[in-house]
Chain A
Amino acid sequence: MRRLCKGNVAVIKGAILAGCRAFYGYPITPASEITEAAALYLPQVGGTFLQAESEVAAINMVYGAAAAGVRVMSASSGPGLSLMQEGISYLAGAELPCVIVDVMRGGPGLGNIAPEQSDYFATVKGGGHGNYRNFVLAPASVQEMAELTMLAFELADKYRNPAIVLADGFVGQMMESLDLEFREAIVPEKPWSVKGTPETRQNLVSSIYLEPDDLEQHQRRMEAKYIRAQQSETLFEQYETDDAELLLVGFGIVSRVLRSAVEQARKQGWKVGLFRPITLWPYPSKELASIVAGAESVLVVELSNGQMLEDVQLAVGSNKPVAFYGRVGGNVPSVEEILEQIEKQMSVRV
């Protein structure tokens, strides 16, 4: 059944459907509606909601709840994400599943609250200390805010690893129709958790491996699961790529603008297509490489000064030109602006 819903609220609807029963968070624009929706809905379905004293506390409450085996999440924006990074590293090190939503805003520092995509490095490349990865999923619509949150819980449990839903101020704040179907969530058994029961008494949740050989072995195991994820969990979307000479690449809200631009460019006879990664980690590099094979050049558009760009360059290699167009500060390019960039690229080639 379709309902008009805000992206941030859809996150919590998806989370509850996925069996999430605990939320610990701290308010920050433009993510606060997630925390507010959690406060409203979770206690009514027997879940726990708590507004923590800080994001530092929130992520460690998440750590505790995850250790006990419940599906748990938090949500924030840039400054809060920065504060959570130590905790996320601990979660990854202790192999605890959880979901964190980052509704990106302008940075660095307090920056502003308008949309940016400048937390790509902080989430996709790490952010906290040590060798670890986060799953990073990038929704571009209200429907996906719910669906990718649900998927994030599944991936987190499957791989025992934090999963981040990387949205931006616009996707979080906008309303679209949301179509969710009720089904009972299937939360897997977690025999490794610590629940204060005779069966779990011997369990230990910890990120400590004191001996270098032990820590190396632990990291090798983590690495192996990351390789498995890279082989089987990538998601992407393509639009009008079959005969595209110029391939646009963008994620999240930018991919929506690019889609409109492709539509209009096609009307003008320009052969332009769109590649939109949905998983930013694992990055759909192979898929991008094969799609780009038919194109002549690539234009990456981001609300940053070129963070995902590096992954595109790696995937595409050096034999095709990769151009970049970025807006920052909370500015989102208009379709007309992208069309100008497309025109520029097409004329460069001619």
Chain B
Amino acid sequence: MDTVMEGEALEMADETTSSPTEQHAGSNGYEVVHSKSPVFYDIYERKSELKHQTHYCPGCGHGVAHKLIAEAIEDLGLQDKTIFVSPVGCSVFAYYYFDVGNVQVAHGRAPAAATGLKRACPEKLVLAYQGDGDLAAIGTAEIIHAANRGEKITVFFVNNAIYGMTGGQMAPTTLVGQKSTTSPWGRRPANEGFPLHMSELLSTLEAPVYIERVALSDNKNIMRARRAIRKALENQRDNLGFSFVEILSPCPTIWGKDPVDARRWVAEQMIPSFPLNVFRDRKLELPPDSAPPQRPVSEVLEIRKEGVRGLSAPHPHGFEQLAIKLAGFGGQGVLLLGQLLAEMGMREGLEVSWLPSYGPEMRSGSAHCHVCLSTQRIGSPLVSRPQVLVAMSEIALRKFAPQVAPEGLILYSGDKLPEDLALPTANVISVPASRIADKLGSAKATNIVMLGAMLAETNCLTRESALKVLEAKVKDCALLEIDRLALAAGWEFVNHQAYAGAVAQADGFAY
């Protein structure tokens, strides 16, 4: 609050800015009216002192902008519906004055907060009021994206080419050559670039319906500002879309000028650099919208009352806990195979957990997951000593075989074990799963061949629940048929062809 000075009252009316209802026609059509819009509080109770005057400096553009906004809200009869989002900057205390719903937000984030408010209250009038540091520096991303989404809000952008509140540092809109406490030699484009033209920038976007730059430089321009502000609020009332009014505004205190000279400076220095213009005024054309279906919560979340039907006769599980690791490379359905096992276990009344490898590791090609099936609450879902390893590739086999628990089982998807592989004292079965799946018509079913083999060998879960889960998960009929055959083939292979339980030999022979 470095620069807060004695304020001018909001009723210090400019003769051209009083609302029409209060106007008394004189010889020139206007008369000075010292009355205050009822959209302003009579007494500024939220201020700690000097409750009858504003905190703005004499001649400050914020006061005029406030007055124009208040009058527009009043005239449009929107006071009860309005939510005013105030920024961080000299106008941080806008809520002292506006007798509307007020939300004060972080520096630069008014368009984001206004987005959250407007989406929560789509029928209401949400307006964001921001300075040039707030909107064009720290909040650049938020304003561009709110505008680009076409948020149905109104943004008032008060551009005074300087940071007022913090005492006169350079703003993104500071003019070339303009001195500030952080551009002591004048703004040098070679060092800090050129002034940022937000209205022009936002005009490159599709969504905004209205963008205009106005100036509080003289009566004629203040009248234009008044019309622009009103239109921007009407647009929101009529649900038209994103409206933006840039207001070139005097900051006599920091500029070191008296109020009259400051207004002149707006006209003579700012307007040439920031030309006044209506940059956008049109209806928004949207492509046809594919609105999501509306359904009851219980249906969307799949928490209908009836439970998943388990098997009629519970399968006697020959274990308290079975720790399984499934590994291979991406695209082999390793993670899916783990999910199928977990789903089957759950349907058979067991506690289950499935923990995948995730992220870049998968991108590099390898994939694995941990599955625990248990009759009791599962502690660690991490399988460090698998009782069963399903290895879908040689790399996976080499990597994880050493972890397998003594007396554990290794199911390897391959014709033959690699000869140089030293294996732990586990049972090892090689299943030519991909050849079997190929023969059945889809290499994609390789993982299901392995599932059949695993069920045949371990009897940990039933074939019936495997079929039930496949029926529930596989929507493509042809693929489901192949999966059924694959499941049976894996089962048959182990029961009839493999040397079930064969301990790996030095030559890697396993079937």
Contacts and interface: CB of A to CB of B under 8 A. Distances in A.
Is chain B a partner of chain A in the same complex? Answer: yes
A251 to B, nearest CB: 14
13 contacts: A1-B304, A2-B308, A4-B354, A64-B119, A67-B117, A177-B351, A182-B301, A195-B83, A196-B83, A205-B102, A205-B104, A210-B48, A257-B380
B109 A1 contact: no
A90 B384 contact: no
B189 interface: no
Contacts of A3: 302-303, 308
A336 B126 CA distance: 58
Interface in A328-350: 332, 334-336
A29 to B, nearest CB: 5
B356 A173 contact: yes
A249 B101 CA distance: 48
Contact of A257 (B113, B303, B379): B379
A218 to B, nearest CB: 14
A196 B85 CA distance: 12
Interface stretch (A37-45, A221-229, A292-300, A303-311): A37-45
B476 interface: no
B359 A30 contact: yes
Interface string B116-128: 1111110111100
Interface stretch (B74-82, B274-282, B387-395): B74-82
Given A4-B339, A50-B119, 17 more contacts: A1-B306, A2-B346, A4-B352, A60-B105, A61-B113, A64-B112, A65-B116, A69-B120, A113-B360, A173-B358, A177-B351, A196-B83, A201-B79, A201-B99, A202-B99, A206-B103, A261-B379
B119 A65 contact: yes
Nearest to A209: B48
A60 to B, nearest CB: 4
B31 to A, nearest CB: 31
A194 B105 contact: no
Contact of B112 (A1, A16, A61, A261): A61
B346 A196 contact: no
A281 to B, nearest CB: 23
B343 interface: yes
B301 A196 contact: no
Contacts of A334: 380, 382, 384-385
Contacts of A187: none
B283 to A, nearest CB: 24
A193 B437 CA distance: 61
B95 A204 contact: yes
Contacts of B304: 1
A263 B376 CA distance: 12
Given A30-B359, A65-B117, A176-B353, A60 B301 contact: no
Interface stretch (A51-59, A119-127, A153-161, A283-291): A51-59
A262 B379 CA distance: 9
Given A17-B301, A67-B116, A175 B339 contact: yes
A250 to B, nearest CB: 11
Contact of B80 (A87, A173, A201): A201
A211 interface: yes
A194 B83 contact: yes
B48 A197 contact: no
Given A3-B302, A45-B297, A180-B301, A201 B100 contact: yes
Nearest to B298: A182
Interface string B310-332: 00000000000000000000000
A157 to B, nearest CB: 15
B109 A17 contact: no
Nearest to A338: B380
Contacts of B1: 210
A323 interface: no
Interface of B: 1, 46, 48, 79-83, 85, 92-93, 95, 99-106, 109, 112-121, 123-126, 141-142, 144-145, 149, 292-298, 300-308, 339, 342-343, 346, 351-356, 358-360, 378-382, 384-385
Interface string A75-97: 00000000000110010001000
A48 B354 contact: no
Contacts of A2: 307-308, 346
Contacts of A208: 92-93, 104
Contacts of A196: 80-83, 101, 121, 123-126
A230 interface: no
B112 A60 contact: yes
B297 A194 contact: no
Contact of A198 (B80, B295, B356): B80
Contacts of B106: 60, 63, 86-87, 90
A44 B300 contact: yes
A132 interface: no
B117 A194 contact: yes
B21 to A, nearest CB: 21
A152 interface: no
Nearest to A48: B119
When A and B form their complex, which 4 residue pairs have the shortest distance between CB atoms, in order from nearest? A64-B116, A196-B124, A260-B379, A334-B384
Nearest to A174: B355
Interface string A111-149: 001100000000000000000000000000000000000
Interface in A245-304: 253, 256-263
